[in-house]
Amino acid sequence: MRYFKHILFLLCIITSFGTLKAQTRDIITLKKGWKFNKGNHPEAIKSNFDDSHWEDITVPHDWAIYGPFDKNIDKQVVAIEQNGEEVATEKTGRTGALPYIGEAWYRHTFSLPNFNTNKKAIILFEGAMSQPEVFINGQKVGEWKYGYAYFYFDITDYISTTQENTLAVKLSNQGESSRWYPGAGLYRNVSIIIKNKESIDQWGTFITTPLITQEIAKVNIKTRVSGKDLRLVTAILDADGKQVNSNETVQLFNNEFDQNIAINNPNLWSPESPYLYTSVSRLYAGNDLKDEITNRFGIRQIEYNQKTGFSLNGEITKFKGVCLHHDLGPLGTAVNKSALRRQLRILKDMGCNAIRSSHNMPSIEQLELCDEMGFMFLAESFDEWAKPKVKNGYNLYFDTYAEKDVVNLVRATRNHPCIVMWSSGNEVPDQWGAEGVKRAKWLQDIFHNEDPTRPVTVGMDQVKATMESGFGALLDVPGLNYRVHLYEEAYNKFPQGFILGSETASTVSSRGIYKFPVEKASMKTYDDFQSSSYDLEYCSWSNLPDDDFVLQDDKPWVIGEFIWTGFDYLGEPTPYDEAWPSRSSYFGINDLAGLPKDRYYLYRSRWNTKDETLHILPHWNWDGREGKTTPVFVYTSYDSAELFLNGKSLGVQKKNNDTKQNRYRLMWMDVRYETGTLKVIAFDKDGNPASEKEIKTAGKPHQIVLDTDVKTIKANGEDLSYVTVSVVDKNGIPCPTATNQLTFKVKGEGTYRAACNGDATSLELFHLPTMKLFSGKLVILIQSTENAGNIELSVSGKGLKKGNISLSSFK
């Protein structure tokens, strides 16, 4: 038996937007003022290099998302071993068919007139895709390899106080380096941190609580510093900004302070109540304040053991999680906090309580939002170890960089309350053989050394091999990717006493697309390169949601699941990875535009236990199917319901155990289509009508309708409003099959940023102000300027009444 009981007091550094000026340090986030050019420009490191003809951009930036889509970009002839393929075939959209391959340069100039010999400067990169080389004033400061890694360099000896400093960053993306769209560029924040030489080290604070009771939390804060004869004062504030306690110490242990602070009647962090405190740490030399850092944190207790599985704050908790790739659909990989917030709002409404960063390090913004909004987090590190999946992948750097990358991941993020588990790898080919076992232990030991409070998992797909080699037995948490038929055997053979569904389902569907006959099928393909939204189609290695539901419900030793995936992502268009055009995934519970597919409501009916769910599929516009069998499914939190077609009852269905699907879905398999109204009435446990819903056959598209997720946005040049566009007939009934070409115009203090319709086969460019509807909908992204004011969006299409919506931005 392996036992984990970890109580953690967690903090996260507040990242500034722009420049955070304090008495002791400046954090200069380099957002505006960048110059960018694609190509080979070795002279760009020089201060006198003429970059006037280069593109003006802001960072975060993804240079490849603007397209065009081209099937010849990174065309890979491979056999995907983790998918069970034995014969190499041509994969055309595997990395999104976007032009991410090649070399590019970024330049930025900055002045530090107040910098002196008592100061220290570091430059921090939160993600650079990929193989970044960093130059200051013509001198190479350093390089990194992994495009998902956080890293920093000390640039104290490279900067000038008498003239402008020139920062140049070279990035190089190779073909066959990824198996999904990796993005390109400085896609996460770049910051320069100016502080005193006597200061708190970068990522130098680690806070845990060795004791939590209802009455008190004992807080231990370890703070690494540079300098001698120092004094550290730490105050803790509650969510209202009121100080609850403080501690002062002068005792250093090998350049580290060790403080204990008590919090009476602590408010615990959880998905239901994500309570965050604030800590303020001030470092003094004598009476001189040398450094100050303000942090948010949470208090919570996690426990993994053989008897109860996983517990949070003493309560047995199942992971109701999703896997997320790092791209944000039409924005590409350029991180945007409002886009991430929208994703999490959608998932929260579904009842999701956990996120897995697949298959790489998460953004700081994502972790901050998960802290605030209440999501547990499985932070993953690698998709490859020493053995390759793709020719030019991380395997080239594993031996020299893996330890540094893990150390940076843990130190940069270990104080986020949301993180409850680390993952050292996903479906790595190293699962076979003794060398793989050694690598798994080596990585797990690094995680434990940097953070002894959280367990480590690996997403294993070669479960039989890991049973035989001891690979699975040594992990803190055995994670199974799919392989539902092996759960029982793994549970009996592995010593931990529980199993995590580290990756589940991989069911495929296209929003609003339905195929007949309705039947379960593996790797099913169609002439239109879409998948059926009856949610009965899956991949050769995977399964249907219902298969996982049974394990979650019937096996107390299954501690939860992380579904592949919460949202569609660019690349990996299985089952159409050998077809063109097809350039994004079909796995998402939500499509690439963030619009829910039918499957969203299947999960919501189980996971959201506070709100009712009642959803009918398919749509009811089937010209030419009159009299033909058109099954109707209802996803609902209720156990039974009655279906009516044009007022005639088609009978009552009740969830039962006849099949896995009958247990979780209400299905009327013999409905014959006729135009009109389809209505469902759901019953409560006593058999009384509790809720009803209906859908109607629509006429021709008549009017454009706009709806937005938020009506006010911040005037910071970054905030986004997502406007959903649909069309209705003359009676206001939605037209679910409309494919009209629309154009968009934005006026006022906002700009058109991008659009997406969720169609995996669409080759329309996201940044152009025109796009076709897909299954009657698309989404437009409006971005604020830096001026407060009104924003007007108008959407038009041939033969349609124009749609308009007003937004506003504020300072």
Active-site residues: which are they?
Answer: 427, 503
Which region, left, alpha or beta, applies to residue 737 given φ > 0 means left and ψ of -120 to 50 means alpha?
alpha
C-alpha–C-alpha distance, residues 399 and 382, integer Å: 13
Q: Which two tokens stand for residue 625?
A: 């199917």
3-state secondary structure of 722: strand
Q: Which two tokens stand for residue 783?
A: 């971005």
Nearest residue to 249 (alpha-carbon basis) of 237, 263, 235, 268: 235
Asked if 353 contacts 386 with a C-beta cutoff of 8 angstroms, the reply is no
Nearest residue to 406 (alpha-carbon basis) of 358, 437, 360, 453: 360
Quick one: DSSP state of residue 14?
Answer: P
Asked if 206 contacts 414 with a C-beta cutoff of 8 angstroms, the reply is yes
Whether the bond between 60 and the residue before it is cis, its omega within 30 degrees of 0, is: yes
Query: Dihedral of the CA atoms 234, 237, 243, 248 (nearest 10)?
Result: -10
Spell out a b/e string for 462-492, using b for 16 or more CB atoms within 10 Å of the CB, else e. bbeebbebebbebbbbbbbbbbbebbeebbe
Q: Which two tokens stand for residue 548?
A: 């996982």
Quick one: DSSP state of residue 762?
Answer: -
DSSP state string for 409-454: HHHHHTT-TTEEEEEEEES-GGGSHHHHHHHHHHHHHHHHHH-TTS
C-alpha–C-alpha distance, residues 740 and 172, integer Å: 40
Q: How distant, in Å, are the alpha carbons of 24, 300, 576, 653 from that of 237?
A: 20, 17, 53, 54
3-state secondary structure of 537: strand
Cβ atoms < 10 Å from Cβ of 400: 9
Q: How distant, in Å, are the alpha carbons of 181, 385, 549 from that of 395?
A: 18, 5, 35
Return the sign of the alpha-carbon dihedral for residues 360, 364, 366, 372.
positive
Letter for the amino acid at 123? I
Return the H-helix or E-strand segment holding 493.
helix 487-493
Query: Dihedral of the CA atoms 785, 788, 789, 792 (nearest 10)?
Result: 30
List, in order, residues 6 or more apart from 47 with CB less than 8 Å away: 137, 138, 163, 164, 166
Cα Rg of the chain (Å, integer): 27
C-alpha–C-alpha distance, residues 626 and 203, integer Å: 65
Helix 364-373 with 337-350: angle, nearest 10 deg: 40
Spell out a b/e string for 343-378, using b for 16 or more CB atoms within 10 Å of the CB, else e. bbebbeebbbbbbbbbbbbbbbbbbbbbbbbbbbbb
